[in-house]
Amino acid sequence: MKANRLALLALVVSPAWAIVPPEYQDPSNPFSAEVEMGLQLTTGNTVANSFNGRTKVIYDTLNAKQEGNFRAYFASDSEKITAQQYQLQFQSDRKFADGDYLYGRGDLTWDEFGSFTRQYIFSTGYGFDVLQNSRSKLSFEAGPGYRLSLPQVSADVPKPEDEREVIARGAAKFEHKLQEYTTFNADLVSEVGEKNTVTTLDLSYKNLFFKDWALKVGLFIKHNRVVPEGSKNTDTITTVNLLYTFQ
């Protein structure tokens, strides 16, 4: 009787074992997203305390990667709106072996209170990983691009015209896992043109405290070498946000 039971058990288990082997793992999900919002402190052309939000979407496969970012900054006092800025960034990568890739990118900024109310930047180029391991990743990007900027209205130029120029773009992206639940990111980008050079530094510190929830502290610095009369060259935005990750 015991032998019969063992034979029956083997007959039932064998097909399942053949269909789902013990080393089987679910395929990784190429889609991920982050949503964050919180308090901000803005200095430079805009001085205010308010709220901000950001949404990041990534679709990462073996041969390609698509990434989009949308950020919104808004502030007002008892009388009027004091800050209103929107940023849309998207990048498409075509991957090759050893971490190399070709990219196409767009950076669109609308800022009613900045030195430039509009800045549209489109670029393409080549990227490669310098360092990549379980804790750190460092990559560089370089290539040509095109920039359109609309200066802020001033007393000397009440109706400014668009500034259009070809640029050279260089970027360095660094990510480091300090601990199991703590990550530091630093992105440095410089876009050099004959009329102006725009440099941005995006720093963030993220600490995961419960499942997919994290606390994120960020510092965004943008510097324009040439600005309209009466505007400041450097804008900074400091944020403390609550972040949720979809995976």
Please give the Cα distance from 210 to 105 (Å, whole number).
34
> Taking residues 132-139, what's their average pLDDT?
92
Comparing 35 with 247, the larger pLDDT belongs to 35
Tens digit of each residue's pLDDT (9 = 90 or more) over 60-83: 999 999 999 999 988 877 677 877
Please give the Cα distance from 68 to 58 (Å, whole number).
7
Query: Looking at the domain 30-246, which fold is it?
Result: Porin (2.40.160)
Determine contact, residues 148/156, Cβ cutoff 8 Å.
Answer: no
Tens digit of each residue's pLDDT (9 = 90 or more) over 153-205: 776 777 888 899 999 999 999 999 998 889 999 999 999 999 999 999 999 99
pLDDT band at 12 (very low <50, low <70, confident <90, very high): very low
Read off the tokens for 8. 């029956």
Please give the Cα distance from 235 to 225 (Å, whole number).
12
> Taking residues 13-38, what's their average pLDDT?
67
